[in-house]
């Protein structure tokens, strides 16, 4: 089984619908992230969480919300989806990093492709 | 804030040849990490190679090596003996060395370069 699991893998929805993307991990990492990938823009950070009680906005958080239900679970919600939110979404985890033995490398899920019609 | 730029949207190479992907970044920090990630059609993000800024020696991983020029803020990826399985999107990414501070330990990505390998 994958260390970082995202559901659903693919989803098509309509404008105005509420959508939740879920992420769970078995790596035991405290840090979790949600990124969005768009062609020509790379990956951009939506939200990140350093532990269950620490959630922070990334560079493109408008229109999104998150919930850290447990150390292993981090969900991303689109309260009212719009076509502009059509993208590939990635969940990722990392250790704390900032040492010679731990670079804070991100470990990614397999992505959730969301299409908003 | 740090920025990462990949100026080559697409690159192509013949099988068994060598190709170099470019990446430049902007930062005021002296300690940081740089990464190259590979994204094949399966969408999985796979770490190819990492470089610690405090190390002068360029990182190598089998057929993959980097040319890290700290003063020029350049971090290129060289793929030798290219294989069909190397075809993918490649992302360059930056991470601050320090877990705290304004960067908060997150990775900043470039726009990506699509690599095509011709048989």
Least confident of A38-52, A82-96, A98-112, B35-49: A98-112
> Measured between alpha carbons, how far is B99 from B32 in angstroms, rounded to an integer?
10
Q: In chain A, what's the furthest Cα-to-Cα distance?
A: 47
Q: Which of A1-5, A74-78, B71-75 shows the lowest per-residue confidence on average (mean pLDDT)?
A: A1-5
Residue that wins the pLDDT comparison between B1 and A111 = A111
Average pLDDT over residues B50-55: 90
Chain B contacts in chain A segment 2-21 (CB below 8 A): none
Q: What proportion of chain A, given as a percentage, has pLDDT over 70? A: 91
Rounded CA gap, A89 and A38, in Å? 9
Residue B34 CA to chain centroid, in angstroms? 7
Q: Give yes or no for a contact between B88 and B64, defined as CB atoms under 8 angstroms apart.
A: no
Closest CB to A88 among B4, B43, B109: B43
- B9 part of contact set with chain A, CB < 8 Å: yes
- Go through chain A and tell me how many residues it has: 117
- The CA distance from A32 to B83, in Å, is 33
CB contact under 8 A, A44 and B4: no
Q: Are strands B60-61 and B46-52 parallel, antiparallel or unpaired?
A: unpaired
- Does residue A97 have a cis peptide bond before it, meaning omega lies within 30 degrees of 0? no
3-state secondary structure of A60: coil
Q: Does A113 touch chain B (CB under 8 A)?
A: yes
pLDDT at A87 over 90: yes
CA distance B64 to B59: 9
Instruction: Give residue B97's pLDDT.
Output: 77
pLDDT at A106: 87
């Amino acid at each position: 089984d994958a260390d970082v699991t995202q559901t659903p893998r693919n989803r098509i929805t309509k404008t105005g619908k509420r959508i939740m993307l879920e992420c769970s991990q078995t790596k035991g990492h405290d840090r979790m992230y949600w990124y969005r990938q768009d062609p020509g823009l790379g990956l951009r950070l939506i939200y990140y969480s350093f532990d269950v009680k620490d959630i922070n906005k990334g560079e493109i958080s408008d229109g999104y919300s998150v919930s850290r239900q447990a150390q292993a679970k981090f969900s991303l919600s689109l309260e009212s989806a719009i076509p502009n939110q059509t993208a590939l979404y990635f969940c990722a985890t990392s250790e704390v990093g900032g040492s010679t033995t731990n670079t804070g490398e991100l470990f990614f899920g397999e992505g959730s492709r969301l299409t908003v019609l | 804030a740090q920025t990462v730029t990949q100026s080559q949207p697409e690159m192509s190479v013949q099988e068994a040849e060598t190709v170099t992907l470019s990446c430049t970044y902007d930062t005021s920090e002296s300690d940081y990490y740089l990464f190259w990630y590979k994204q094949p059609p399966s969408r999985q993000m796979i770490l190819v190679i990492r470089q610690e800024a405090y190390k002068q020696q360029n990182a190598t991983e089998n057929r993959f090596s980097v040319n890290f020029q700290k003063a020029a803020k350049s971090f290129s990826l060289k793929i030798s003996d290219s294989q069909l399985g190397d075809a993918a999107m490649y992302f360059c990414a930056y991470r601050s060395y320090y877990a705290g501070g304004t960067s908060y330990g997150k990775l900043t990505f470039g726009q990506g370069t699509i690599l095509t390998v011709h048989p």
